[in-house]
Amino acid sequence: MRKLGRLLTAMVTPFDNEGEVDYQQAKNLAQALLNSGSDGLVVCGTTGEGATLRFEEEFRLFAEVKSVIGNRGAIVASTGSYDTKYSQELTKEAEKIGVAACLLVVPYYNRPTQQGLFEHFSAIARATSLPCILYNVPSRTATNLAADTVIKLSQIDNIVGIKEASGDFRQIAHIIQGTKSDFLVYSGNDGDTLPILALGGYGVVSVISHLVGIQMKDMIEKFLDGKTQEAAAIHRRLLPLINAMFIISNPMPIRYALNYIGFPVGKPRLPLVEPDEKSAEIIRTTLRNYNIDLAIPPKSAHL
C-alpha cells in the first residue's frame, strides 16, 4: 500500500458566487495545502461539505484534484454514506479515477447495530481494492463504532485504518492495542492529535492544517523525534486556534477563516451558513494571533 502520510487535510470545497463548485480554486487550494505541510487530502468529506455535493461534482473534484497534484500527495476520497450499495458504487467509481484510498464514515441517521456496521464496512471493502479508512464520529452520526468492531474489521486486508473522532481515549487505546502495528489510527479532532500520537496513533485528518499545516507537521515530527516537550508546546499554542475553528459546526469557521485571510472559497451551501457576527469576531481576533502557513495565491491564479 502506498503511504498516505501522517498529516492529511480534510479539504474545504471552494464554491463560486453562485454556489457552484469552483474547480480551479479547488486545484489552487490542493496545491497550497501540499506546499504548506500536508501529506495528502481528504476530498468531499465533512469539511468538504460532501453531504451537499452531487454525485457528478464529487467525481469531478476527485479527478481535478488528482490532475493537479499527481503523485505529490495522497487523495483520500470520502465515499461512505448511510446506504451500503450506494457507498459501494461511489467507492468503485473513485477507484477508477485513481485515488489512493477511501474514507468510510459510520452510517448516519439510520443507527445500525455493531453487526450492521461490521457487515456494511465489510461489503464496501469487498467491492474495491482501495485501502479503506473507517471514520468514527458519533457526535455527527449518533452511532459509535465500538473498538471491538474496529478490531474485527481490521482483520480485512484492505481495511487499513480509522479516523477516530469520538474523543474517547480509552476506546482509541483499545483499538491501537488490539490491531496490527501497521493499522493506521488517525485523530479526527485536531485537539486530540498529540494525545493520540502518545497512545501509539499514526497521524491526523486535520482542519486547522488549512491555516497552520507547517506547524502541525512540525508538532508531529518533533513528537516522533522524541522532542515531546517541544511538541507539547506547539500543541498548547495551537489550542486557541483549534477552539476558534470549532466554535460553531465545522466547516463554517474554517471556510470563513480562509475567506478572511485572502484565499476565497465562497460561502457554505445551505443548510450551513456563514458564522454569526459574535463567532466571526472570535475567529478574526484569534487569527490575528497566529502566523498563517498557507500561501495565498496571486489574484491572477483564481480565474
- For residue range 40-85, list pLDDT tens digits in order: 999 999 999 999 999 999 999 999 999 999 999 999 999 999 999 9
Q: What is the pLDDT of residue 300?
A: 35
Give per-residue pLDDT as tens, 138-169. Answer: 999 999 999 999 999 999 999 999 999 999 99
Superfamily holding 7-231 = Aldolase class I (3.20.20.70)
For residues 78 and 18, is the Cβ–Cβ distance under 8 A? Answer: no
Q: At what angle do helices 209-224 and 228-245 cross, to 10 degrees?
A: 160
**CB 95 within 8 Å of CB 126:** no
What is the predicted pLDDT for the residue at 187?
98
Q: What pLDDT is recorded for position 302?
A: 34
pTM for this structure? Answer: 0.95
- Please name which of 232, 136, 227 lies closest in space to residue 189, comparing C-alpha atoms: 136
> Residue 295 pLDDT > 90, yes or no?
no
pLDDT recorded at residue 297: 65
Cα–Cα distance measured from residue 152 to residue 134, given in angstroms and rounded to the nearest whole number: 12
- The residues annotated with a catalytic role in the active site are 135, 163
Q: Report residue 254's pLDDT band, with 50, 70 and 90 as the boundaries.
A: very high
55-58: long-range pairs with CB below 8 Å, 24+: 55/90, 57/21, 58/90
Q: How confident is the model over 33-40, as a mean pLDDT?
A: 97
107-127 pLDDT, tens per residue?
999 999 999 999 999 999 999
Of the chain, the percentage scoring pLDDT greater than 70 comes to 97
**Structural domain spans, the chain:** 7-231
Check pLDDT > 90 for residue 299. Answer: no
Q: How confident is the model at residue 303 (pLDDT cuts 50, 70, 90)?
A: very low
pLDDT at 298: 63
What's the chain's average pLDDT? 96
